[in-house]
A and B are shown apart, each in its own frame.
Chain A
Amino acid sequence: MPIARAAKRATVRLGAVALVGALLAACGAGNSSGSDSSDSAGGKVTLTVDLFGSFGFKEAGLYEEYQKLNPGVTIKQSDTQDEADYWKSLQTRLAGGGGLADVQGVEVGRIASVTQQQSDKFQDLKEFGADKLKGEFAEAKWSAATTKDGKILGLGTDVGPEAMCYRTDLFKQAGLPTDREELAKKWATWDGYLELGKEYKKKAPAKSAWLDSVASLYGIMIGQEEERYYDASGELIYEKNPAVKAAWDASVEAAEAGLSAKLDQWSPQWNQAFAAGSFATIPCPAWMLGYVKGQAGEKGQGKWDIAKLPGGAGNWGGSYLSIPRAAKHKKEAYQLIEWLTAPEQQAKVFQKQGNFPSSTGAIEKIADAKDAYFSNAPIGQIFGDAAKESPVQVLGVHDQNVMQQITNALSEVERKGVSSEKAWGTAKKGVANVIG
């Protein structure tokens, strides 16, 4: 899940010794064609599912349901909390051609790497008839997992429509309106959001900032853009992209005006700050709701609310389910992921976990959903609208790492007072390093 996607934090990631990995990677090129499914003696199949973060399938009881529907199937899921670790290990296994599960999760920030660099390592789902599902998914979601020559390499799980979460109690103390409609009007643009932030700062409770970190501000703003780091031809264009510059400038402004709590997203300090009230607003993709609830805890119940995002709709994060070519039970795996990503199941995951569905059928089903934790905010409507209006994003192979370099540099402005020009220079060097 995208929660973990940026969460390069805190989990144990020792044990990857570069030399051994390099060896593995370079030695094991071949051996990718596993036996083609149905070696199932007496119809008994054990399907392995390898995911990161929390996709919510287990939580929503979907595996049990599926096993009841298909008595011959047993599902075994393994998890890695941190997407960065998960991706590393998946890459190593793909390069070596062994140890792969029947179903592998792929984050949207990596899907371009799958479609552009590794399409021969994943199963074309069209062979199992996936193309008939095309109309059931949001257009952007579907096209991102399709290669130029029309192979379908993954079925979408959730998407990350964006909104703004805020603390009504802190807003009250600072004398700001707390009604979500009114706020949406006041911060119809990002300038409005920053202005309100400056107002907040004047009367804010002690030790409370307007925003958690400028990295999340940058992240949510860049999520509103169609073109970000790459253009449609796969060329790196972030340097001259005005959208990147706009998001950068707004983040710098917020940093220099002292609006942020200077927290590092996904760090322990960030987690503690949810409950401590260190910030009044946090840019909020749908999957963030579960995270806020987890960190702010029961005491936060009713203190939070959700309003429409300044500057229009956007999308941040979301995932896919894919089948590696080396998987043992491809046909059964396909049946499973088709079922898991069907509207009914996506709606169940949303109700349990807050992950917003990518299936258009499921979006209709949850249109009326409200969230008691967030002052009964109409999350079905807010995120549903955002999902409908989100731009179809151009994805690039290094999206994830490029973004990391830019937000690192922004943190320098935020926490060290480095000048915008100097930090941008660092970001460019960092990106050059990423591209190699």
Chain B
Amino acid sequence: MSLTATAKAGPRRPAGTGPGPDDGRAAALRRTWRKASPYAYIAPFFTLFLAFGLFPLLYTAFVSLYRVELQTSGEMEWRGLANYTALFSDEFFWTSLRNTFTIGVLSTVPQLAMALGLAHLLNYKLRGRTFIRTAILLPYATSVAAATLVFAQLFGRDFGLINYVIGLVGFDPVDWQTGTVASQIAVSTIVIWRWTGYNALIYLAGMQSIPHELYEAAEMDGASRWRQFIHVTLPGLRPTIIFTVIISTIGATQLFGEPLLFEGSISGGISHQYQTLGLYMYEQGWGFFHLGRAAAIAWVMFVLIVVIVGVNALIVRRRTRKEAGR
């Protein structure tokens, strides 16, 4: 871009100080810098994003069209869309897609509901509030690996604490690793345990931005705490709830660490009963070294997430428009 052009396009400033010929040039330079500097400031992020975000994304798309094996990664064999068609005719892909969905629902719904309840309680004046708020964040600070290994012990079939307790009540032990529903509940439990506190804090922050007068007014009108929650807190929290739903959905779609470490099985159990998409990709890529297929799965997951987020956004926009029209 030429200097004059920029100067012309730049915002006109009132010519206040001495308009010498040199000064004009310096001013033009300054103006250029003014225009360009924001780009310079954000450049580091975008450079990094290009190198470690966009390039891998595009390169993955490229790889997904080839047959690439890690052992012989020098030889790439063109397959076109065969990796994708193979994927869609693969029973295990659909199993893992279904598992990702069911585990996602099993973990996200109770998690957000509990977080909401917790936040509501924490929003009252409690003794040691800061301590409790910090405490509920602790599971989130724990590493997935450590947490999952502990849970795997708790859910043990023969010597696990949970089956022991179930036995005390008089029920038969549950095979938490083998049963489809049982194993998915077990994996979801780990997710719930880890993320409930985190979401509760987000809700709490959202709740504190709701004007206190609303509650006072509601109280004067004789609304119970429950009614206050339904009619004041929930509407006020809507943007926050939408945010957590989107974040949790993305998290659930990418769920990986918990199912992998639960039994240490890359197949997600003997019948793939709790294999998520993330785990399925890992199995293809790092269990069997089919990098092309793993790349195809990565792209399918990417598109899936974009679609989910898009649908979410659409629903939100519709609701907002409806409300605006009211």
Pick from A9, A14, A94, A267: contact of B257, CB under 8 Å: A14
Q: Is the CB of A18 within 8 A of B264?
A: no
Q: Is B293 part of the binding interface, using a Cβ–Cβ cutoff of 8 Å?
A: yes
Q: Identify which of A23, A29, A436 contacts B288 (C-beta below 8 A).
A: A436
Question: B265's closest neighbor in chain A, by CB?
Answer: A8
Interface-located stretch among A38-46, A337-345, A348-356, A411-419: A411-419
Contact: B271 with A426, CB < 8 Å? Answer: yes
Q: A19-B56, A26-B63, A426-B271 are in contact. Are A95 and B70 (CB under 8 A)?
A: yes
Any B CB within 8 A of the CB of A434:
yes
B166 → A minimal CB distance (Å): 16
Query: For A88, what are the chain B residues with a Cβ–Cβ distance below 8 Å?
Result: 286
Instruction: List residues of chain B with CB within 8 A of the CB of A418.
Output: 271
Instruction: Kindly supply a per-residue 1/0 record for chain B positions 89-104, scoring 1 wherever the CB is within 8 Å of any chain A CB and 0 otherwise.
Output: 0111000000000000
A22 and B257 within 8 A (CB): no
In the complex, A143 has a CB within 8 A of chain B: no
A31 within 8 A of B: no
Q: How far is the CB of B70 from chain A (nearest CB, A)?
A: 5
Do A12 and B261 have beta carbons less than 8 Å apart? yes
A369 sits at the interface (CB 8 A): no
Q: Is the CB of A25 within 8 A of B73?
A: yes
Bound-complex Cα distance A433 to B293 (A): 10
**A22–B293 touching, CB < 8 Å:** no
Does the CB pair A264–B263 fall under 8 Å?
yes
Question: Chain A residues near B145 (CB, 8 Å)?
Answer: 12, 14
* Complexed CA–CA distance, A395 and B257 (Å): 33
Complex CA distance for A278 and B156, rounded to whole angstroms: 15
Q: Is the CB of A434 within 8 A of B288?
A: yes
Contact of B73 among A11, A13, A16, A95 (CB under 8 A): A95
Task: Check A18–B158 contact: CB distance below 8 A.
Answer: no
- A147 within 8 A of partner (CB): no
Q: A23, B70: Cβ atoms under 8 Å? A: no
With beta carbons under 8 angstroms apart, the residue of B69, B260, B267 that contacts A408 is: B267
Q: Which of A13, A84, A426 has the most CB of B within 10 A?
A: A13
Q: Across the interface, do B70 and A92 meet the contact criterion of CB distance under 8 Å?
A: yes
**Nearest B residue to A398, CB-CB:** B288
Considering the chains assembled together, what is the distance between the CA atoms of A243 and B228 in angstroms? 71
Residue contact A18 to B73, C-beta cutoff 8 Å: no
Query: Is B39 an interface residue when CB atoms closer than 8 A count as contact?
Result: no
Judge whether B73 and A8 touch: CB under 8 Å. no
Q: Is B153 within 8 A of A436, CB to CB?
A: no
Interface residues of A in 12-66 (CB under 8 A from B): 12-14, 16, 18-23, 25-26, 29
Q: Is the CB of B293 within 8 A of A113?
A: no
**Roughly how many angstroms separate A374 CA and B72 CA in the complex, as a whole number?**
45
Q: What A residues does B152 contact at CB under 8 A?
A: 10, 268
- Min Cβ gap A429→B in Å is 6
**CB contact list, B292-326 vs A, under 8 A:** 293-295, 298
CB of B60 within 8 A of chain A? yes
> In the assembled complex, which residues on chain A have CB atoms less than 8 Å from the CB atom of B286?
16, 18, 21, 88
| Chain A residues whose C-beta falls within 8 Å of the C-beta of B260 in the assembled complex | 13-14
**A401 interface residue, CB < 8 Å from B?**
yes
Are B271 and A18 in contact (CB-based, < 8 A)?
Answer: no
Q: Collect the chain B residues with CB atoms within 8 Å of residue A278's CB.
A: 158
Q: Which residues of A contact B290 (CB under 8 A)?
A: 436
* B171 close to A (CB within 8 Å): no
Of A23, A264, A398, the residue contacting B177 (CB under 8 A) is A264
Using an 8 Å CB-CB cutoff, how does the interface string of B200-238 with A read, 1 for contact, 0 for none? Answer: 000000000000000000000000000000000000000
The verdict on A164 contacting chain B, using a C-beta distance below 8 Å, is: no
Tell me the B44-79 residues at the A interface (CB within 8 Å): 56-57, 59-60, 63, 67-74, 76
Judging by beta carbons under 8 Å apart, are B56 and A23 in contact?
yes
Are A25 and B270 interface neighbours, CB within 8 A?
no
Among A12, A84, A118, A418, max chain B CB count under 10 A is at: A12
Partner of B159, one of A84, A272, A415, A426: A272
Q: Which of A11, A276, A409 is B264 in contact with, Cβ under 8 Å?
A: A11
* Chain A contacts for B287, CB-based, 8 A: 84, 401
Q: Which of B60, B144, B270, B284 contacts A19 (CB 8 A)?
A: B60
Given A26-B291, A436-B288, A429 contacting B91 (CB threshold 8 A) = yes
Given contacts A26-B76, A412-B271, A436-B67, 17 further A-B pairs with CB under 8 A are A8-B266, A10-B264, A14-B261, A18-B282, A18-B294, A19-B56, A20-B56, A26-B59, A26-B63, A91-B70, A118-B71, A264-B270, A269-B156, A409-B270, A412-B270, A416-B271, A433-B284
7 contacts across the A-B interface (CB closer than 8 A): A19-B56, A23-B56, A272-B158, A276-B159, A401-B288, A412-B270, A415-B270
Interface residues of A (CB under 8 A from B): 8-14, 16, 18-23, 25-26, 29, 84, 88, 91-92, 94-95, 113, 117-118, 264, 266-269, 272-273, 276, 278, 397-398, 401, 404, 408-409, 411-412, 415-416, 418, 426, 429-430, 433-434, 436
